[in-house]
Amino acid sequence: MISNREQVTAMILTAKVRKALKWSQVADAIGQSKEWTTAACLGQMTLTKAQADVVGELFDLNDEATAWLQIAPYKGSLPTAVPTDPLIYRLYELVNVYGSTIKELIHEEFGDGIMSAIDFSMDIQREEDPKGDRVHMVMSGKFLPYKTY
């Protein structure tokens, strides 16, 4: 019996390693970006029944696990308040160092509001550089102005 979404994520990661699958292959199979697909398989997004069935087949999941993929997850479920994984910590550090700058520049350009993490897309690519390859990350979220009432 499966009691939470984290168990399904563990099943997916185990099968991914065993089958040597890449997230881009899973994304192609369900017709979504590799970024969204990875987030979904790691338990941060809800899959449709059709998507869950494909993921279930790719990762040899049973019907119960496939059903869990269709339930709205608890999002933002890092195991600690301050991340300990070095890569995730660097993103956390980036927001700590540049967050006020990003906020200031967004407010200057758009006004008072936020960038949506719901109406959102992300693209991560390798950028070749003779001094060492770079991570090229683009995040695009709809601007949502605060309302007055």
- Catalytic positions, please? 90, 93, 116
C-alpha to C-alpha distance for 140 and 43, rounded to whole angstroms = 21
DSSP character at residue 82: S
Which of 28, 44, 13, 39 lies closest to 122 in space, CA to CA?
Answer: 39
Tokens read off for 52: 């869950």
Rounded to a whole number, what is the largest CA-CA distance in the chain?
Answer: 55
C-alpha to C-alpha distance for 51 and 9, rounded to whole angstroms = 15
At 106 the three-state DSSP class reads helix
